[in-house]
Amino acid sequence: MEFVRILKNELIKTIKKPRSFIGFGVVAFICLLLQAAFYNDGKEILSFVTGQLENSLTIEGQVLNGNLICFILLQTLIIQMPLLVALVTGDLVSGEIANGTMRFLLTRPASRSKILLAKWLAGVFYTLLLLAFLGVLALFVSRAIFGADDLIHINSEVLTVIQADDMNWRFVGAFGIAFLSLTVVATLAHFLSTVMDNSITPIVSTMAIIIIFTIIGMFDLPSFDILQPFLFTTHMISWKDMFEDPIPKADIINSCVILFAHIVLLLGASLYIFNKKDINS
């Protein structure tokens, strides 16, 4: 019961904090902006792309549809989402230390571990809400505007066509993997927030780590090859595997295990550090 009460506190604070709404605003703005752009110019762009394919195959039906728009939006926003997640989760501990409210929290009977876990869960809940919001806007609103049809996309230089009635469970899986990826980002920001005592540095540091890991992942160099399989950024795009045919199950499971391992390690380190930390501010 004590943990439930603390968690309720953290959820209330997270929901009522003004900066929590920035993420929802950005997601809504980008989704609506791209949907409007595709509504106006999408057919033109697609006819240019599909025109090159018409010599070798016949395309029927609505290529520019809600499923494709959602796929594009996911690809676009997965770059911005870590920043939006870190903006809130990177502030959860260090923000309270900087503001002085942590002093009052830690002089209550609840243990530090419970307080930290409640904060982490609130961050994960926020991540889930943000992703669900993206899902509603990207998938359901796009389908309402553009209709639902087969998804045609080029992945690894292979043209893949997914039937419209085969899409829903794939999107559920894709959003599930995206959620796991963003939970790693949230846990990383939460960890840095535990280490640092101001609210901006953990957010900036989280983004810096993502950028550095992404750069390492981009280059096909022998010294980087050893690291790449273990970097969470390598597995953050595994949601795309849900739209392969056939689905590379082993790769997805491997990615999920590595992402989950990151969460466990980072959360464990946060708990260890926070329990030892002197609250001086």
Partner 1 sequence: MPNAIEVKNITKKFGDFVAVDNLSFVVPEGQIFGFLGPNGSGKSTTLRMLLALITPTQGEIYYGDKELRSNRKEIMSQIGCIIEKPDFYTYLSAHDNLKLFARASDVSFTAIDYKILYELVGLKGRENDKVKTYSHGMKQRLGLAQALLHNPSIILLDEPNTGLDPKGIIELRELLIKLNKEQGKTILFSSHILSEVEELCDSLVVINEGKAVANGSVSDLLSNEDLLVDIEVENATECLQLVEGTEWKQFIKDSSGQTIRFNLAKEKISKLNQYLIENNISLIASSYRKRLEDYFLRITQNKD
249 in contact with partner 1 (CB under 8 A): no
Q: Give the total of residues touching partner 1 (CB under 8 A).
A: 26
Q: Cβ distance 187 to 263 under 8 Å?
A: yes
Among the candidate windows 5-13, 51-59, 85-93, 192-200, which touches partner 1 by CB under 8 A? 5-13
100 in contact with partner 1 (CB under 8 A): yes
Minimum separation from the CB atom of position 271 to partner 1 (A)? 16
Convert residues 104-143 into a mask of x (bound to partner 1 by CB under 8 A) and - (unbound).
xxxxxxxx--------------------------------
Q: What is the DSSP letter of 243?
A: G
Q: What is the DSSP letter of 154?
A: E
State residue 153 phi and psi, 5-degree precision.
-150, 155
Q: Name the residue nearer to partner 1 (CB basis): 17 or 43.
A: 17
Minimum separation from the CB atom of position 270 to partner 1 (A)? 18
Among the candidate windows 80-88, 102-110, 150-158, 265-273, which touches partner 1 by CB under 8 A? 102-110
Burial code (b: 16+ CB inside 10 Å, e: under 16) for 160-189 equals eebebeebeebbebbbebbbbbbbbbbbbb
Q: Cβ distance 119 to 14 under 8 Å?
A: no
For residues 243 and 106, what is the distance between their CA atoms, to the nearest angstrom? 46
185 in contact with partner 1 (CB under 8 A): no
Q: Name the residue nearer to partner 1 (CB basis): 153 or 277.
A: 277
For residues 193 and 186, what is the distance between their CA atoms, to the nearest angstrom? 10
For residues 232 and 224, what is the distance between their CA atoms, to the nearest angstrom? 14
User: Letter for the amino acid at 62?
Assistant: Q
Extract the tokens encoding 237: 């795009």
Of the residues 52, 55, 156, 280, which one makes contact with partner 1 according to CB under 8 A: 280
25 in contact with partner 1 (CB under 8 A): no
Q: Which helix (H) or strand (E) holds 159?
A: strand 158-162
Extract the tokens encoding 87: 């903006």
8 in contact with partner 1 (CB under 8 A): yes
62 in contact with partner 1 (CB under 8 A): no
Of the residues 3, 11, 17, 28, which one makes contact with partner 1 according to CB under 8 A: 17
Distance in Å from the first CA to the final CA of the chain: 30
Minimum separation from the CB atom of position 187 to partner 1 (A)? 23
101 in contact with partner 1 (CB under 8 A): yes
Residue 266: burial class (beta carbons within 10 Å; 0-12, 13-18, 19+): buried
User: Letter for the amino acid at 177?
Assistant: I
Among the candidate windows 37-45, 101-109, 157-165, 262-270, which touches partner 1 by CB under 8 A? 101-109
Cis before 229 (ω within 30) = no
5 in contact with partner 1 (CB under 8 A): yes
15 in contact with partner 1 (CB under 8 A): no
6 in contact with partner 1 (CB under 8 A): yes
Minimum separation from the CB atom of position 275 to partner 1 (A)? 10
Q: Name the residue nearer to partner 1 (CB basis): 80 or 101.
A: 101
Grouping H, G, I as helix, E, B as strand and the rest as coil, residue 217 is helix
Binding site for partner 1 (CB under 8 A): 2, 5-6, 8-9, 12-13, 16-18, 99-101, 103-111, 276, 278-280
